[in-house]
Amino acid sequence: MPTWTNALREHYRWVIVAAGGVLGCVAIGGLFSLPVFLRPIAQDTGWSTTGISTAMTFAFVALALGSIAWGSLSDRVGPRNVVLAGSLILTAGLALASLATSLLAFQLLFGAVVGLSAAAIFAPMMACVTGWFDTRRSLAVSLVSAGMGMAPMTMSPLAAWLVQTHDWRTSLQRIAALVAVVMVPVALLVRRPPALTTPPADAPSGAATQEPALSVGQALRSAPFLILVLTSFLSCATHSGPIFHTVSYAVTCGIPLMAAVSIYSLEGLTGMGGRLVFGLLGDRFGAARVLVLALLAQAVVVLGYVYARQLGSFYTVAALFGFTYAGVMPLFAVIAREHFPLRMMGTVIGGTTMASSLGMALGPVLGGMIYDSFSSYAWLFIGAFALGIGAFLAALAFTRLPGRKMAAAVA
């Protein structure tokens, strides 16, 4: 490969990282604008809070189902086409949801359409980034994840500012316009990884036929994939309930509402650091090893909420919890890239994303049921600890699998 081509790839791969971060931030921000608009929508329309919130449940289900579908499609037509389509559909979904005149229409448009379009960003971009990096891969994936994690600190305040000066329909339309203005041009910057477009210069003729090619079906039935899916599901089920119910739990402990909200914000802030630190550690010590230790840490830390009563102790646990749970997630994409061919990365990462989305959908519901049954959140955190230990053991089992790597098969 010519020197100038190497230099171009070296620089452009960071453009891919930046594009992934921006796309993820705006897409996730658009999806999670619903909690900001929840009360204004209810006051304006008379729809129930539960009915409006159900749109988010629909969104998580659509996100889960759409992840593997969009990921698989990106393997066939390329990530740029997929993220561009997702950006356009997201724009349309937000705009049409703002015009909904019935609760069911709003649930379908915001939940199903917006959730499905957001799924077109995460798995394809994660797969794309892993293909652009042979070194510093964990850091690159973590930076993309950190960009997505910026949504609560950028898009949510923007939505809150808009709804203070406009009605919710106008505010949602302006969010839709922002999505179009930002995401469509950025999507055009996305490129396939060079390994999928240019055969390696030192590859001998007929090298692809020296080993039997791994099919997508074989990959999806393989032990590494199934264990990754299980680990991803258990990991997200571990932290989704505590994340969703943190504010409510703090209030039941006598913490004022605004202070309770700051606990939730601290989780997000320290999560940014967790993504970067675990990314650097993954590059240095191996993503699988770091994942095992991070999942164990997540399980232990979440149990700390059982003993939190004062604001100071809440802050301490929240800082540690946010740091660990946010740092865990990017490592799954890195491990997938290390064990499966690049040509099917979208499908594989889409599968793990589907599992994580289902895990995220499980926690809030179970947490509510637990509180309604026991008038206490203690069993939520004890249950989360048990799920976290399950995730740790699943990841540990992954490291005990035979060390055969499958990532070399690109074609």
| pLDDT tens figures, 139-175 | 888 888 888 778 767 787 788 788 888 999 999 999 9
Instruction: For residues 374 and 379, give the distance between their C-alpha atoms in angstroms, rounded to a whole number.
Output: 8
- Residue 302 confidence (pLDDT): 95
pLDDT tens track for 17-49? 999 999 999 998 888 788 778 778 888 998 887
How far lies 235's CA from each of 46, 123, 221, 267, in Å?
37, 17, 21, 16
- Residue 6 confidence (pLDDT): 60
Flag whether pLDDT at 373 surpasses 50. Answer: yes
Q: DSSP string spanning 186-254? A: HHTT----HHHHS--TTPPTTGGGSSPPPPHHHHHHSHHHHHHHHHHHHHHHHHHHHHHHHHHHHHHTT
Q: 3-state DSSP helix/strand/coil percent for the chain, to nearest 5?
A: 85, 0, 15
Segment 297-302 mean pLDDT: 95
Contact (Cβ atoms closer than 8 angstroms) between residue 299 and residue 388: yes
Measured N-to-C along each axis, helices 151-165 and 34-45 cross at an angle, to the nearest 10 degrees, of 20
What one-character DSSP code corresponds to residue 401?
S
How far lies 303's CA from each of 125, 271, 362, in Å?
33, 18, 18
Instruction: For residues 271 and 314, give the distance between their C-alpha atoms in angstroms, rounded to a whole number.
Output: 15
Q: DSSP string spanning 43-105? A: HHH---HHHHHHHHHHHHHHHHHHHHHHHHHHHHH-HHHHHHHHHHHHHHHHHHHTT--SHHH
Instruction: For residues 265 and 281, give the distance between their C-alpha atoms in angstroms, rounded to a whole number.
Output: 25
User: pTM of the entire structure?
Assistant: 0.76
- Residue 105 confidence (pLDDT): 94
Contact (Cβ atoms closer than 8 angstroms) between residue 380 and residue 239: no
* 224-238, 342-356, 395-409: least confident range: 395-409
What is the CATH topology of the domain spanning 216-399? Growth Hormone; Chain: A; (1.20.1250)
Flag whether pLDDT at 101 surpasses 90. Answer: yes
- 3-class state of residue 169 by DSSP: helix
Instruction: For residues 305 and 299, give the distance between their C-alpha atoms in angstroms, rounded to a whole number.
Output: 11
Q: In which band, very low, low, confident or very high, does the pLDDT at 232 lie, cut at 50, 70 and 90?
A: very high
- Residue 245 confidence (pLDDT): 79
Q: Which residue ranges make up each domain of the chain?
A: 7-193, 216-399
Angle in degrees, CA 178, 182, 188, rounded to 5: 145
Structure tokens at 89: 């559909």
**Mean pLDDT over all residues of the chain?**
84
Same fold, 7-193 and 216-399: yes
What one-character DSSP code corresponds to residue 340?
S
Class of domain 7-193: mainly alpha
Share of the chain above pLDDT 70, in %: 91
- Residue 1 confidence (pLDDT): 45
Instruction: For residues 100 and 104, give the distance between their C-alpha atoms in angstroms, rounded to a whole number.
Output: 9
- Residue 130 confidence (pLDDT): 86
- Residue 56 confidence (pLDDT): 79
- Residue 291 confidence (pLDDT): 92
- Residue 206 confidence (pLDDT): 44
Segment 196-204 mean pLDDT: 54
- Residue 407 confidence (pLDDT): 46
Instruction: For residues 290 and 284, give the distance between their C-alpha atoms in angstroms, rounded to a whole number.
Output: 9
| 48: CB partners within 8 A, 6+ apart | 42, 103
Contact (Cβ atoms closer than 8 angstroms) between residue 183 and residue 93: no
**Higher-pLDDT residue of 233, 261:** 233
Share of the chain above pLDDT 90, in %: 35
